[in-house]
Amino acid sequence: MKAIYHELEFNITCIDTQHMRKDFVAAYLIENNGRAAFIDTGCYLSVPTLLATLEAKNISRESVDYIILTHIHLDHAGGAGELLKHLPNANIYVHERGAHHLIDPSKLRAGVINVYGELFFKQFLGDLIPAPKDRVIIKQEGDTLSLGGRILKFIDTPGHARHHLCIWDETSRGIFSGDTLGVSYREFDTEQGTLIFPPTTPIQFDPAVWINTINKLMTLKPKVAYLTHFNQIEFNQDSAKMLIQHINGFVDIAKAHKTSDNRHKAIKKSLLSYLLDIATKHGVTLDEVKQIKLFKGDLEICAQGLGVWLDQDG
Ligand SMILES: [Zn+2]
C-alpha cells in the first residue's frame, strides 16, 4: 500500500490511514533523537500504510519505542495488535479501561459487529489481533513517556469515551486529541477558520463530563490539536467554545426527539440540517451534495451515540 502522509512541524507526521476515504482517519508518527512513536494506528487494514510510511521516511522498525493509543475505538486502535507484531522494540500504551480489550479483543469484536455488521467489519476494519499481555502497558493521568528525551504526558480525558487519554507534547504545545477535541475536516476550512463538531459515538458519550475535559485541556494553553479526524488544526479558546456549543447543540437535538417515532432517523435528519446550517454560517461554499457525503459516516454514528445516551441518561 502506498504511504500518504503530511509532514508537520516538530518532527510530527500525520499519516493518512486511508480508512474509508482519504483525509478521514489519521495516525501520527513522532520522531526524536533517532527514536519514534506512533500515536493511534487506524484499523487493522491501515497497518501496511503505517509500515510503508516508516520505510518511506527511512525509519527502522527497531527504532519505534511506543504505540500510544488515545482510546480503543477501532478507527484509532484496531491496528495496534497487528502493528505490534512488526515492531520488535515497541509496547502498546493505553488507558486502564482499554487494556484488556487489546489483550482479548473478542468482546470488542462482538460489539463492533453488533453496531456495524459482520460485512462492514470484514470489508472496512479487517480483523483484530490480540496483543500479548506483557506488551500492553497502562497509562494514567499525569504519567509520562520519554521519546529520546522528548516528554509526552498522558491526560485522562473522559467524555467521548471513558477509555480516552490525550497526549500533551510540550515541544509543539500540541495535544494528540483522538476524538476529544472534535472532528474537523479540511474541506470545511474557510476564512473563519476550522469547523469543529463532536463525534458523539456510542456507547459512552457523556456531554457534561466531556465539557469538563475540554476545559481541563484548555488550562494547558495549547497551540494546536492533532486530530484523528483529521490532521493538525490550530486550537484556541474559540475552538473550544465552538466544540462545546455543538456538543450542547447535538444534545438539544437528541432531547427534542426523545419520544419521536423512528427516533434514530429523526435525530439523523436533524443532525444533518444542523451541520449544513453551521457550515453555511461558517462560510462553507462546497456543494451541498459533497458536504452530505463528507458528513455521512459521522451522522450515523453520532445519531446512534445520542440514542444510547438518551436511553441511559437523557
Ligand atoms: Zn472514538
Q: Is 231 left (phi over 0), alpha (psi -120 to 50) or beta?
A: left
Task: Give 293 Cα–ligand 1 centroid separation in angstroms.
Answer: 20
203 upstream amide cis, omega within 30 of 0: yes
pLDDT given for residue 115 in this prediction: 80
Q: How far apart are CA 265 and CA 199, in angstroms?
A: 17
Task: Give 210 Cα–ligand 1 centroid separation in angstroms.
Answer: 13
Q: CA of 87: how far to CAs of 60, 67, 211, 289, in Å?
A: 9, 9, 36, 42
- Which stretches in the chain have pLDDT values below 70? 314
Task: Give 77 Cα–ligand 1 centroid separation in angstroms.
Answer: 9
Q: How far apart are CA 16 and CA 60, in angstroms?
A: 20
pLDDT given for residue 21 in this prediction: 87
Q: How far apart are CA 104 and CA 85, in angstroms?
A: 16
Task: Give 254 Cα–ligand 1 centroid separation in angstroms.
Answer: 19
Task: Give 58 Cα–ligand 1 centroid separation in angstroms.
Answer: 30
Task: Give 179 Cα–ligand 1 centroid separation in angstroms.
Answer: 5
Task: Give 33 Cα–ligand 1 centroid separation in angstroms.
Answer: 31
Interacting residues of 256 by C-beta distance below 8 A, sequence separation 6+: 270
Task: Give 176 Cα–ligand 1 centroid separation in angstroms.
Answer: 13
Task: Give 89 Cα–ligand 1 centroid separation in angstroms.
Answer: 27
Task: Give 31 Cα–ligand 1 centroid separation in angstroms.
Answer: 25
Put simply, whether the predicted model's pTM sits higher than 0.95 gets the answer yes
Provide the residue type at 200 as one letter. T
Name the nearest CA neighbour of 136 among 92, 176, 180.
92
Task: Give 217 Cα–ligand 1 centroid separation in angstroms.
Answer: 17
SS (H, E, C) the chain: CCCCEEECCCCEEEEECCCCCCCCCEEEEEEECCEEEEECCCCHHHHHHHHHHHHHCCCCHHHEEEEECCCCCHHHHCCHHHHHHHCCCCEEEEEHHHHHHHHCCHHHHHHHHHHHCHHHHHHHHCCCCCCCHHHEEEECCCCEEEECCEEEEEEECCCCCCCCEEEEECCCCEEEEECCCCECCHHHCECCECCCECCCCCCCCCHHHHHHHHHHHHCCCCCEEEECCCEEEECCHHHHHHHHHHHHHHHHHHHHCCCCCCHHHHHHHHHHHHHHHHHHHCCCCCCHHHHHHHHHHHHHHHHHHHHHHHHHCC
Task: Give 73 Cα–ligand 1 centroid separation in angstroms.
Answer: 5
Q: How far apart are CA 219 and CA 237, in angstroms?
A: 10
Task: Give 97 Cα–ligand 1 centroid separation in angstroms.
Answer: 14
Task: Give 71 Cα–ligand 1 centroid separation in angstroms.
Answer: 7
Q: Is 187 left (phi over 0), alpha (psi -120 to 50) or beta?
A: alpha
Task: Give 270 Cα–ligand 1 centroid separation in angstroms.
Answer: 22
pLDDT given for residue 112 in this prediction: 86
The owner of cell 494553553 is 221
Provide the residue type at 203 as one letter. I
Task: Give 34 Cα–ligand 1 centroid separation in angstroms.
Answer: 30
